Amino acid sequence: MLGYFSLFGAMSIMNPSAAVDASKSAAERRPYTRGAVLPALLQQRTLILDGAMGTMIQRYKLGEAAYRRERFADYPRDIKGNNELLSITQPHVIREIHDQYLAAGADILETNTFGVTTVAQTDYGMESLADEMNMQSAKLAREACDKYSTPDKPRFVAGAIGPTPKTASISLDVNDPAARNVTFDELCQAYYELRAGEGADGCGLRSVPR
């Protein structure tokens, strides 16, 4: 599970004081509801997190056309491999994967958002779609959890936020040790753009209308 962390966890690594301030402001905006029961449940039993999304997607053997569908049929760049886009173009695939994990007994479902930051999406030129991908991914996970939740076994949504394909720690140019393909401020901004919302249970995703 390396590389997965909540929004506030990521911010605390970058700037601890900012994470505290952000947490306070998020709490002031909306009551903490579903996720509030998690601590009590963890005192009672072990909660099961779902598994990898990428390897499950690979089982579907989706080609370039499947990633594109009609909406992106004329997109000028290859987009196969942009798994987060599938929440928009192949929502039934993501929904089926969520259902399989929940049916197997998962208590916590991760959203299909590992690579949904504006920085990560520059690889495909789809930075402008980051908001939509986050919203749709949170919606799919929330709907799946609502379908499988029972009073005795509630299901929770956790926002998946992964490292970007850029690096701010080493140079990619042997002739320039100071060279970077992303700045610290750009990474901070990309993570701050993900706001905690109602679509997930205290995760770092934009809110999903109820």
Q: Is the pTM of this model over 0.95?
A: no
| Residue partners of 200: CB distance under 8 A and separation at least 6 | 111, 138, 141, 142, 157, 158, 159, 208
Collapsing DSSP to helix, strand or coil, 105 comes out as: coil
The more confident residue out of 130 and 205 is 130
Q: Which CATH number fits domain 7-192: 3.20.20.150, 1.10.1790.20, 3.20.20.330, 3.30.70.330?
A: 3.20.20.330
Q: Taking the domains of the chain in order of start, what are their residue ranges? A: 7-192
Distance (Å, rounded) from C-alpha 137 to C-alpha 146? Answer: 14
Give the pLDDT confidence of 168-209 residue by residue, as tens digits. 777 777 788 877 777 788 778 777 776 533 344 544 444 333
